[in-house]
Amino acid sequence: MADIDTVQGWLGESERVAVLTGAGISAESGIPVFRGPGGLWQQHRPEDLATPEAFAKDPRLVWEWYDWRRARVAQASPNTGHHALARLERRLPVLTLITQNVDGLHERAGSRRILRLHGDLWTLRCTGCGRQNRNTEVPLPELPPRCRCGALLRPAVVWFGETLPADILQQASVAAASAQLFFVVGTSALVQPAASLPLMAREHGARVVEINPERTALSSHCDISFLARAGELLPQLVGD
């Protein structure tokens, strides 16, 4: 396939590569996509639960949903797409992996240079003292969980209505602006500010490659857009 050969050639020429991943790559591991059919949980929309207001109103309900999500993710495994990106990181001088996912599958596949735009499902943050700690217990022994200071713990993820961590977004912007090659993998390219990163990369001279089963709003702005699953195509691009 000519496009695969072309991208492999670009990879061989590039020292600075950035990758933006979204829910699509995790969906291939069996994790439900946040948006789309089948998104209901006990008659609640995720968009109504993942907010500061929902947590303030009923922290136990919100934590029941997150405990369920953590259990689903714990049963999943990184797929061949995750592993291909980890191999690529080890091979290149600089690969920055920017992810909208909170599931930790990239880490489990072996990726190390990760910018988590939307936080981490496995980190809990105290609403009182601000202390953060990693917790992989499934299920959690207490809902809602509490910090040793007595205040409620919350998932260290970015909820609707909250801003992305400024330092992470800044690092992602720098990676996009300095990349020679930018991959967009498994994302609808609708959620800002993440959706602007590949356009920023293109403005600074990077080649942009999209991998997604369906066309997106970004497709027409890419140098090459593959209509494919990440788990099928990334191993072909990266090789062993």
Question: Averaged over 102-117, what is the pLDDT?
Answer: 98
Q: Choose between 213 and 191: higher pLDDT.
A: 213
How much is the pLDDT for 41? 60
Q: Which amino acid is at 115?
A: L
Q: Check whether residue 99 and residue 211 sit in a common domain.
A: yes
CA separation for the pair 88, 10 (Å, rounded): 13
The last residue of one of the domains, among 157, 174, 204, is: 157
Kindly state the percentage of the chain with pLDDT values over 70.
95
pLDDT exceeds 90 at position 167: yes
Q: Check whether residue 82 and residue 197 sit in a common domain.
A: yes
**Overall domain count for the chain:** 2
CA separation for the pair 69, 63 (Å, rounded): 9
CATH of the domain at 9: 3.40.50.1220
How much is the pLDDT for 40? 46
* Per-residue DSSP letter, 95: E
CATH of the domain at 153: 3.30.1600.10
Give the residues across from 21 on adjacent strands. 99, 185
How much is the pLDDT for 67? 95
Structure-block tokens of residue 173: 């912007």
Q: Check whether residue 151 and residue 40 sit in a common domain.
A: yes
Domain that holds residue 93: 2-31+78-118+163-238
3-state DSSP call for residue 114?
A: strand
Q: Check whether residue 109 and residue 225 sit in a common domain.
A: yes
pLDDT exceeds 50 at position 14: yes
Task: Tell me, yes or no, if the pTM score tops 0.85.
Answer: yes
Q: Choose between 131 and 191: higher pLDDT.
A: 131
Catalytic sites, residue numbers = 118
Q: Check whether residue 136 and residue 219 sit in a common domain.
A: no
Q: Check whether residue 23 and residue 125 sit in a common domain.
A: no
Q: Check whether residue 216 and residue 181 sit in a common domain.
A: yes
Long-range contacts at 73-78 (CB < 8 A, ≥ 24 apart): 73/31, 73/103, 73/104, 73/105, 73/121, 74/136, 74/138, 75/30, 76/26, 76/29, 76/30, 76/31, 76/103, 76/105, 77/29, 77/105, 77/108, 78/29, 78/105, 78/106, 78/108, 78/109
